[in-house]
Amino acid sequence: MGIESPQGPLFKNLRYCLRCCVPETEEGMSFDEMGMCQSCQSSEQKMHIDWTVREKKLRNLLEDAKAKAGNNYDCIVPISGGKDSTFQLHVLVKVYNMKPLAVTFNHNWYNEIGWYNLQNALEKFNVDHIMFTPNRKLVNRLAKSSLGAIGDACWHCHAGVGAFPLQVAVNFKIPLLIWGESIAEASGRATYNDPKIVFDREYFTRVSAKKTAKQMVDEDLSEKDLAPFEIPSSESCEAVGVHGIHLGDYIFWDDERQMEFVKRTYEWKEVNIEGTYKRYKSAECVLPGMHDFTKYLKRGFGRATDHACIDVRNGLLSRSEGFKLAKKYDTQEPNALKYYLKITGMTEKEFYEAMKKHRVSQLQDIDLPISKDKKKEEVEPFVQTFLKRIRKEYPDNE
């Protein structure tokens, strides 16, 4: 019941954007009178924006930051090692001659290529870098409570990516934070003409983490354990004048072309990613498949739908080709589930039961199709594989 024809979307009882493949269950989703989602509206607006005017604004803003910085860093660039990180550093260092401090919240789930891309970017652009790594036990424990709290495995990453750059901004007294992609591009929550969401200190709590560090305190985890995920107070942010921008609001953003550019120019590397057909989004992590599969279990679509939507908007796929890819990839149970169950001590049944509680009302009574591929390679963070390899290659010498 509820499953559509081969050319159409997966669920016939959901309303989908008439131009791309995104369903009504996307967070913050609203359709215009033509039945178009906000991201599709953004992609139309993008063609009519005077990007030279916006670029001039960016130039002034960066010059201003540089003038005020004196001997301090001009700005903070939060980076993961993804293709946006390399592109952001290219724009800031090579084009605008800024001196940024690169800041990484390490979710401690890096894969080998992700680690390479991060280190490669630091070497290529000669930027100073600060990284925070939460301990393994804390990460594993939070991965478990995250599922109940927000319906995905990644609270610690959402919260850390939000909190840590702000902590550095406050402690190093660097007011300007610079992210990559515009919110109008990445999600259905805003458009270029109607930004709706502007960056403030609680931005990541609202958009991705959903729960504050204090709300994650439980019988095992104290406020002290969760302190790394605490957002600095508004007083301390205001004292420094902390504010943030997205480069994508000032320069024309084109994921595919930027990816080709950073590959060719800076030896950035792609990687196979579970749950989608593209090889460059969340490419640094071993568990993006878990994040995207839980989204599918909650909302009836995952990362492949997001990617298909982008390609449909850019004229690279037809809408029905998009639906076909989405059906194939969104429904795949990821290899990473095995690792997730191992670190949380949950059974597969407990996982699926927990996810059922987060499912949107429109899909409550539907059996979501799930495909289980049998040939499964082991997923684990690169650092653990690395430690094992070194122990093996350098056995105890008396």
Per CB under 5 A, the segment of 19-27, 65-73, 93-101, 242-250 that binds Zn ion is 19-27
Q: Which residue, 146, 145, 85, 141, is CA-closest to 118? A: 85
Nearer to Zn ion, 19 or 124 (CB): 19
Nearest distance from C-beta of residue 386 to Zn ion, angstroms: 42
| Rounded least distance, CB 296 to Zn ion, Å | 18
- Report, in Å, the least distance between residue 214 CB and Zn ion: 37
Residue whose CB is less far from Zn ion, 38 or 120: 38
Residue 21 contacts Zn ion per CB under 5 A: no
- How far is the C-alpha of 68 from the C-alpha of 91, rounded, in Å? 20
17 binds Zn ion (CB under 5 A): yes
Q: How far is the CB of 22 from Zn ion (least distance, A)?
A: 5
User: Which two structure tokens, joined as six digits, stand for 62?
Assistant: 């960066």
**383 CB-contact burial (10 Å; exposed 0-12 / middle 13-18 / buried 19+):** middle
CA distances 27 to 203, 274, 353, Å, are: 15, 22, 22
Beta bridge partners of 216: none
User: Beta strands of the chain (E only): which ranges?
Assistant: 75-78, 100-105, 128-132, 176-179, 243-246
Min separation Cβ 12 and Zn ion, Å: 18
User: Could you tell me which stretch among 18-26, 255-263, 319-327, 360-368 binds Zn ion (CB under 5 A)?
Assistant: 18-26
Longest dimension (CA), the chain: 76
Q: How far is the CB of 37 from Zn ion (least distance, A)?
A: 3
Q: Closer to Zn ion at the Cβ: 17 or 147?
A: 17
Question: Which positions from 366 through 385 interact with Zn ion, judged by CB under 5 A?
Answer: none
Burial per residue of 114-150, b for 16 or more beta-carbon CB atoms within 10 angstroms, e otherwise: bbbbbebbbebbebebbebebeeebbbbbbbbbbebb
Backbone angles phi, psi at 312, to 5 degrees: -65, -45
State which residue, 29 or 154, has the beta carbon closest to Zn ion. Answer: 29
3-state secondary structure of 103: strand
Locate 131 and state its tokens. Answer: 């990284």
Q: Measured from the CB atom, is 17 or 226 closer to Zn ion?
A: 17
Residue 19 vs 90, nearer CB to Zn ion: 19
Report the residue number, 160 or 188, with the smaller CB distance to Zn ion. Answer: 188
Closest residue to Zn ion using C-beta atoms:
17
CB of 317 vs Zn ion, minimal distance in Å: 13
99-158 binders of Zn ion (CB under 5 A): none
**Quick one: DSSP state of residue 335?**
T
Closest distance to Zn ion from the beta carbon of 363 (Å)? 20
- Least Å distance, CB 332 to Zn ion, is 23
CB 150 to Zn ion: min, Å? 25
What whole-number distance in Å separates Cα of residue 216 and Cα of residue 168?
A: 22
**Interface pattern 29-48 for Zn ion (x via CB under 5 A):** --------x--x--------
Closer residue to Zn ion (CB): 41 or 282: 41
Contacts to Zn ion from residues 232-261, by CB under 5 A: none
Name beta bridge partners: 129.
102
- Nearest to Zn ion of 40, 216 (CB atom): 40
Under rule CB under 5 A, residue 20 binds Zn ion: yes
Q: Are 236 and 229 in contact (CB under 8 A)?
A: no
58 forms part of the interface with Zn ion (CB under 5 A): no
Size of interface with Zn ion, in residues (CB under 5 A): 5
Nearer of residues 17 and 91 to Zn ion, judged by Cβ: 17
For every residue of 336-382, DSSP letters joined together read HHHHHHHHHT--HHHHHHHHHTT--GGGTTS----B--S-------H
**Does the protein bind Zn ion through residue 19 (CB under 5 A)?**
yes
Contact set with Zn ion (CB under 5 A): 17, 19-20, 37, 40
